[in-house]
Amino acid sequence: MIKKQRNINFGAAILFLIFSMLFFVLLSRFFFIQATGEVKGQVLAAKAEQQYTDSTKIEAKRGTIYDRNGEVIAEDRSSFSLVAILEEDMTTDPKNPNHVVDLKKTAKELSKYINLKESKIYDILEEGKKKDRFQVEFGSAGRDISYETKTNIEKLDLPGIAFNRTMKRFYPNGIFASHVIGYTETREDKNGKTSIVGQLGLEKSLNDVLTGTDGSFKFESDVWGYLLPDGKEQITPARDGKDVYLTIDRKIQILLEDAMNKVDKEYKPKKMIGIVADAKTGEILAMGQRPTFDPETRAGIENGWYNEAVETSFEPGSTMKIFTLAAAVEEGVFNPNEYYESGTYKVDPKSRAVPDHNGGSGWGSITYLEGVQRSSNVAFAKLANEKLGFDKFREYLTHFGFDQPTGIDLPNETNGKLAYTYPIEKATTAFGQGTAITPIQQVQATTAITNDGNMMRPHVIDKIVDPDTGKMIKETKPKVAGTPISAETAAKVRDYLGTVVTGENGTGKKYALEGYEVAGKTGTAQIPGKGGYLTGASNYIFSFLGMAPKDDPKLIMYVAVQQPDLTKNADGAVPVSMIFNPVMKSSLQYLQIEPTGKKPAETAKIPNVTGLSTNEAAEVLTEKGVQPVIVGNGSKIIKQIPAKGETLLAGERVIIKTDGDVTAPDMSGWSIRDVMKFAEAAGLKLNSVGNGYVVKQNVQEGSVIKEGEFLIVELNDPETIVNKEKNNDDEVEEKEKTDEVKVKD
């Protein structure tokens, strides 16, 4: 008994000792935590704050890319992805379920708004249900859903149907200078954070400028995540990316894209390049190519990653003769009336003979001007060798910028490759063979011809603006890249190049435009292959480098079409002219460049008619030879556009606004200039489609309109209007004939 008692006492002593040690350890730990505030190297106060502090990301918007007139080219928009929640545990109230209850009904209703059949939607839901998935998505059909579609689906009040919101890059014009603008991709890092990253063109090169900085909203909450009434809030605002304004003109770019589409469909060339530039500033108004791609879907991107106008160099062909001619004129060694023997020409006894493009037959003894018109290789080889001298000619190649990149603000610009070692290479460079240069180098060099000798550096970025403050971060001003020739030489060269289009022997006849004089040079460049140049009627790069109007050029346009299918038409100039002619003419009309050959227009100085009665104002303006347009049903004039003292062409419209309600006039046949006057007077937001004169308007004549409303007009050039009317007449005539036949039956 005594022994048993001793064992119990000993065991109790052991337990007491163990619990005393545990208590000591816990007490020591307590004092340690109390003193340091850390557990396993982590600060408890911070963990507590984290536990009771929620944070919400404020997403920054990527900068918008605009054209020169403020039209959107690329912008961030909210995009929604459709999800269906299948987990039944998400429902706590059976009367208000939070999961998909009726698969068939859900599939039927969703099929009305997304591009999936009802049966396919049902299969996705059913499979997800069988595999106990928390939620399912609907592939590409359920992504990038517009706000309008989201709203319509939400109105269905389908249990378990929800949306995830993301920002998506949107390109409203579709295929539109795609290699200039580029595209973006959404990337996810290892922490699950997503970001939009530029992958090509300006989206890539300006990625840091366009990308904003996300903000955050932090607040104190309880354990359930609810905001505490007296909790602290900390807001870090998001900083949106900078907005970029380009020199690209949306309307001219669309003209170029449309013309390229037609040639692509009819002639299926391997490649096409088109550039439209301001002849005085070097601003790029349009730049396109084929193959191309859709920046939103990336369809077609695998066919070409490079901006062909900037990133590739090739033998230019006879468009190079423009600059050989300019050098010869500048040096005073070009005599347009001097004769030479065409056909073939040997630079030196060791070199092969340079042949003219008609197989070396030539045209006998002709003048140098006729040689320019006929695009004689011999004429330009002789100019470079005998008139200028190869050393002097080489200096001009540098003056015109052919041995260095232009410095255009587009990524990955390549340099030309001048082959200028042997006499034959020097001679062939004079007419565009052997040496490779880029299209943008040719456009830059041409600005010296169009801008009185001042060669302008090309650029596509007009300005960069902070959208939050409106502050201009960067502005690109026209910059002279060199002065290779004088203004006098430039004028002479334009006259000589004008005869390429108008002359009896000119190779550029197909590029003549009604109402506008064109100066320019055709090109037919050979394509290097294995063991020499490719042969066959289609195996060339056909091009034209032109400017208009000839005497005072406003636009430069370069077009190149590589290896078109000429089985039906053996003339490579046809597909090139199908791009150059409509784009150049429509662009000049859109820019309101007056056609040549017109008599000087009579003008009228506008008097002040504000304060007069409508009848008095109309009488005064009519006497001045202008056409008054009364806007409103009041009796007294309160505003006029143009204002007093401005000069108008005789017959042009003056908008006079009365003190009554503003009413819409019939604008049929109005020019865009007159429409702009009316929109300004009435305080309307103008949106125009097409070029030429008004054929449709969205507001009915005589209807009352309010300030801030949209005015949308559709315009067509007179030729198109006449053709449509003729087609309508033909349709009516055909219908009458058909009706007669029916009567006979």
Catalytic positions, please?
A: 318
Q: How far is CA 346 from CA 318, 425, 428, 524, in A?
A: 19, 12, 11, 22
Place of tokens 């209007």: 721
User: Do residues 153 and 45 make contact, with C-beta atoms less than 8 angstroms apart?
Assistant: no
For residue 497, give the H/E element and its range. Answer: helix 487-502
Place of tokens 């597909």: 575
User: Do residues 377 and 431 make contact, with C-beta atoms less than 8 angstroms apart?
Assistant: yes
User: HSE of 482 in the Cβ direction (CA atoms, 13 Å)?
Assistant: 18
Name the β-bridge partners of 79.
166
Provide the b/e sequence for 116-134 (b: ≥16 CB within 10 Å): beeeebbebbeebbeeeee
What is the token pair recorded at 378? 């011999």
User: HSE of 349 in the Cβ direction (CA atoms, 13 Å)?
Assistant: 0
Distance (Å, rounded) from C-alpha 678 to C-alpha 655? 6
For residue 628, give the H/E element and its range. Answer: strand 627-631
What is the token pair recorded at 347? 């630079």
Residue closest to 241 by CA, chosen among 64, 57, 59, 471: 64
Q: How far is CA 734 from CA 293, 359, 739, in A?
A: 42, 51, 9
For residue 215, give the H/E element and its range. Answer: strand 215-220
What is the token pair recorded at 593? 């460049």
Exposed, middle or buried by CB within 10 Å (0-12, 13-18, 19+), for 735?
exposed
Distance (Å, rounded) from C-alpha 602 to C-alpha 515? 19
Distance of CA 618 to the CA centre of its chain: 44
For residue 581, give the H/E element and its range. Answer: helix 573-590
Name the β-bridge partners of 137.
83
Q: What is the DSSP letter of 412?
A: T
Distance (Å, rounded) from C-alpha 534 to C-alpha 500? 27
What residues have CB less than 8 Å from 417, skipping those under 6 apart?
313, 435, 436, 437
Q: What is the DSSP letter of 566?
A: -
Name the β-bridge partners of 186.
196
Distance of CA 281 to the CA centre of its chain: 19
Distance (Å, rounded) from C-alpha 436 to C-alpha 403? 10
Distance (Å, rounded) from C-alpha 467 to C-alpha 63? 8
Crossing angle, helix 321-330 and helix 439-450, to 10 degrees?
Answer: 40
Crossing angle, helix 487-502 and helix 439-450, to 10 degrees?
Answer: 110
What is the token pair recorded at 681? 């007077």
